[in-house]
């Protein structure tokens, strides 16, 4: 018989994972150059601000290119909340408040979006590992995830469904 485990990844841990994905192995400056097909941007990892609120993950990040200078771009993910959207998918969009930010978002937004999403998936995976340690030998099924103001909450079914 299946049982549900509800596990939480604290908001600061989610933020740490995002920072580590954006600027892996960063020195104290927390900046890194990303390059693709001759285009380059500077990721200002020290500027990263993340917030979980009402089912949403908001990530503000400064990115910089020679052509447009330093711009803040917001990456928004709807992860669902306890009463709606608490499943296995999420919605995402990029907010670019200026024409220069939009230019950076057009070129680099999808790549940055993917890296941030990979960090969220890292947190989900950590929850699955925790569920496996709490229920050794049991079959695990990811039932869903959602965001509260303080954590990413992950639901895992253990045992046969």
- Quote the domain boundaries for residue 36: 3-158
137 contacts: CB under 8 Å, gap ≥ 6: none
* Dihedral of the alpha carbons of 61, 62, 65, 66, in degrees to the nearest 10: 180
Give the pLDDT score at 96.
97
In eight-state DSSP terms, residue 138 is -
Give the pLDDT score at 28.
62
Number of alpha carbons in the 13 Å side-chain half-sphere of residue 127: 29
Tell me if residue 153 falls in helix, strand or coil: strand
Give the pLDDT score at 84.
84
pLDDT (tens place) for every residue of the chain, 161 residues total:
789 999 999 999 999 999 999 998 866 668 999 999 999 999 999 999 999 999 999 999 999 999 999 999 999 999 999 888 778 889 999 999 999 999 999 999 999 999 999 999 999 999 999 999 999 999 999 999 999 999 999 999 998 87
Give the pLDDT score at 5.
93
Give the pLDDT score at 87.
86
Q: pTM for this one? A: 0.93
**Overall domain count for the chain:** 1
Give the pLDDT score at 26.
66
């Amino acid at each position: 018989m299946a049982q549900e485990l509800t596990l939480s990844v604290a908001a600061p841990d989610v933020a740490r994972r995002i920072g580590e994905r954006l600027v892996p192995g960063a020195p104290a400056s927390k900046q890194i150059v990303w390059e693709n097909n001759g285009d380059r941007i500077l990721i200002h990892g020290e500027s990263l601000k993340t917030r979980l609120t009402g089912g949403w993950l908001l990530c503000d990040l400064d990115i910089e290119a020679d052509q447009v200078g330093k711009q803040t771009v917001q990456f928004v993910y709807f992860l669902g909340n306890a009463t709606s959207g608490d499943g296995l998918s999420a919605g995402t969009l990029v907010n670019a408040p200026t024409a220069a930010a939009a230019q950076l978002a057009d070129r680099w937004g999808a790549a940055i979006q993917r890296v941030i999403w990979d960090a969220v998936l890292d947190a989900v995976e950590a929850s699955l590992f925790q569920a496996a340690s709490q229920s050794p030998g049991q079959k695990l099924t990811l039932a869903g995830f959602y965001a509260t103001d303080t954590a990413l909450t992950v639901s895992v079914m253990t045992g046969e469904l």
